[in-house]
A and B are shown apart, each in its own frame.
Chain A
Amino acid sequence: MSDDNEVQPPSGRGGPGVPEAVVEAKSRISIVWLIPILAVLIGAFLSYRAIMERGPTITIRFETGEGLQAGKTTVRYKDIEVGQVTDVVLEKGLVGVIVTAQLNTGAEDYLTDETRFWVVRATVSAGQVSGIGTIFSGAYIGMEPSTEGKRTRTFTGLEVAPVVTRDQPGAHFTLRSENLGSFNLGAPIYYRKIRVGQVVAYELDETGEFVTVEVFVRAPHDKRVFQNTRFWDASGFDVSLGAEGVKIDSPSIVSMLFGGVAFDTSPGVQASDPPEADHVFELYPNRQASLEKKYTEFAYFLSYFDGSVQGLVPGSPVMFRGIRIGEVVDLNIEYSPEKVEFSIPVLMKLEPQRIDVTAADLEEERPIFALVARGLRAQLTSGSLLTGQLQVELDIHPEAPPATVDMSGRYPAIPTIPRSIEELTTGIAAIVDKLEELPIEEIGQEVVKSLKALNSTLESTDALLDPDGPTRRELTRAIAEMAQAARSARLLAEYLEQHPEALVRGKEQ
């Protein structure tokens, strides 16, 4: 408003009789503006609410998008819907798919780098059928929340559903095996034929020599695993032929067909400590093998034999005073052009752990030198007279000609002694021993006893033949009766022959 627009009175300004209009300054913002501002505020609040209630949006990377559909596939935890897939797109480079999923509110706390996602599809595998429901409902994304670890919104999905979820009570153990055997993921773990767990994972270790198998044992059975517990592959069945006959050890049908792992703690052995977290158990190929002592330390030795080694094969036992301490690994023939001689190097694998050393620690690095100096020699002996199998016998022969360990080759060579002489002498010694064992005195006593018994037998025979004895008497009578009967028969026949009519007419008068 300006003065120019108003009509001025003639008297000029501020005449005393004319009240002057008071000019009031108008407020700058109109009240009308309040309404849009309010609307904006409400809108902002509403959108904040909407965002807050929407929950976090995450992305998961999968190898394949099979069965995943935007707007349809759900994310579930314990079969309760916790979110929905909003977008499925190909990854850059076309290697995988990126799944965007909208989770419900409250899921933020459980989204860490430990959280696992996987796709649940219907699977029929060894001994179990899972996810049947997904045939009708379609695949869904399973979630295993975790509060540990760093928070994140980007995940890599598991290709295979985890066999065991973290919330199951129990313990994981690591087994080491030479090969995987015949079981698969999810194969059952048996304790006394009760199913107590599953195979969770397996992988080849870095060296490629072993397969590491991870198993899960449910509580409370995980308490039955000790450091000396032995695991074995319970697939198939064991047929062992022993001195007691044929023995068949079979697990359940399921594990026979689909494989499985059984464990037990050796009877008689005191339950030892629970295993440490990084304890690696040996997985034995079968129960029998698990019961046998397993040795992990080997020492290789050579022995050169001059004569024939027919009957000696890789696997033939190496004995020390009757106890098996190793086996033959390899046989060969060596020809020495200088000496024009053949010799047969036999490579033996010994298991030093079989020998308890009484001293706390061996001072010498290789006690073999001292032993050979004392007379340790290798020798071929027959393991079985029946099959002609040979074995290598190690023993101390103090009378043997002195020899030393030959270290020229790759393996130390234990000197040998010939076979025949020794066997002959031991044979003679054995015969002498047998003779000494003969119980001459007892035999004498037995002979006396036998003679006495014979005597009494003869006496009783005498009594039997005694003319007054009932036997003899009855015999005599019986013979006489027989003679009488024969006589009567003869007379009758004679009479009838002379008088056949007597049959009809009787005897003549």
Chain B
Amino acid sequence: MGRFTSRAAGIVAGLLLTGCLGRTPAPVFYTLTVVEPTVTTAAGGADGPVLAIGPAILPSYLDRPQLVSRQGNRVSYAQYSRWAAPLESELLRVMGANLGSLLRTNRVVVYPAEPRLPVAFRIRLQVEQFDGSPGGEVVLNVRWAIARPGSKEPDVIGASEIRQPVAGSEDDDLVDAHSQAVGALSREIAERIRSLSD
């Protein structure tokens, strides 16, 4: 009895020692980047339409900090490559910046901030898929709605599936492809908004 106890204690101590001695590598954090050039007030952005971006609904599998890579139906999470902020807020932030540039306006309000001005267009997103694989492609599958205030139903409801090839096999390339995909989506939506405001 006493022998067994001492042996078990020895095992546990050894395990603890090895565990404590092992070092967890530091994760790498990524953000999405804005692909369009920023429009400043001097460039006439002050008079543009008021855009309210958000909210965006993301599938649960994306609601985590790890980068998601997909092989067919199999997804895996990169334990040490992470989004610096929740993907939803990153997506909206970059979308807002892109749309502001494309529609030449500074008056962009991104969820959860409240618009103080009469909103011209409100854009809502429902993301179906937003992942990719290093060396493969990033797929951004989104349903979106553009609504003008006062109308009960959205003015435009659309769906986009953007496929963006990943240039390399690194996580950096995968993130860059994500940013490009968001830029492409922004351009599509900006196009529709322009057609609505004309």
CB distance from A470 to the nearest CB of B (A): 15
- What's the count of A-B pairs with C-beta under 8 Å? 28
CB closest residue in chain B, given A484: B86
Secondary structure at the A interface, as helix, strand, loop or mixed, is helix
In the assembled complex, B23 has its CB within 8 A of some CB on chain A: yes
Chain B stretch 10-50: residues in CB contact (< 8 A) with chain A: 15-16, 18-20, 22-25
- Which residues of A are found within 8 Å of B116, using beta-carbon distances? 467
State the CA gap A506–B112 with chains docked (Å): 36
- Which residues of B are found within 8 Å of A480, using beta-carbon distances? 112
In the assembled complex, B63 has its CB within 8 A of some CB on chain A: yes
Known interface pairs A480-B112, A487-B86. Does A505 touch B65 (Cβ–Cβ under 8 Å)? no
Query: Is the beta-carbon distance between A505 and B112 smaller than 8 angstroms?
Result: no
Query: Is the beta-carbon distance between B114 and A506 smaller than 8 angstroms?
Result: no
Known interface pairs A467-B114, A506-B24, A507-B79. Does A491 touch B65 (Cβ–Cβ under 8 Å)? yes
CB distance from A186 to the nearest CB of B (A): 98
Secondary structure at the B interface, as helix, strand, loop or mixed, is loop
Query: Is the beta-carbon distance between B25 and A509 smaller than 8 angstroms?
Result: yes
Interface size on A, residues (CB 8 A): 12
Chain A stretch 448-501: residues in CB contact (< 8 A) with chain B: 467, 476, 480, 487, 491
Interface string of B83-114 (1 = CB under 8 A from A): 00010000000000000000000000000101
In the assembled complex, A129 has its CB within 8 A of some CB on chain B: no
State the CA gap A508–B25 with chains docked (Å): 9
CB closest residue in chain B, given A466: B114
- Which residues of A are found within 8 Å of B86, using beta-carbon distances? 487
State the CA gap A503–B116 with chains docked (Å): 49
- Which residues of A are found within 8 Å of B24, using beta-carbon distances? 506-507
Known interface pairs A467-B114, A480-B112. Does A505 touch B63 (Cβ–Cβ under 8 Å)? no
- Which residues of B are found within 8 Å of A39, using beta-carbon distances? none
- Which residues of A are found within 8 Å of B20, using beta-carbon distances? 506
Chain A stretch 110-145: residues in CB contact (< 8 A) with chain B: none
The residue among A480, A487, A505 with the most chain B CB atoms within 10 A of its own CB is A505
List 9 interface pairs A-B (beta carbons < 8 Å), by A numbering: A476-B112, A487-B63, A487-B64, A491-B64, A491-B65, A504-B18, A505-B18, A507-B25, A508-B79
- Chain B residues within 8 Å of A, Cβ to Cβ: 15-16, 18-20, 22-25, 63-65, 79, 86, 112, 114, 116
Q: Which 8 A-B pairs have the closest CB atoms?
A: A504-B19, A467-B114, A505-B19, A507-B24, A506-B22, A506-B24, A504-B15, A506-B19
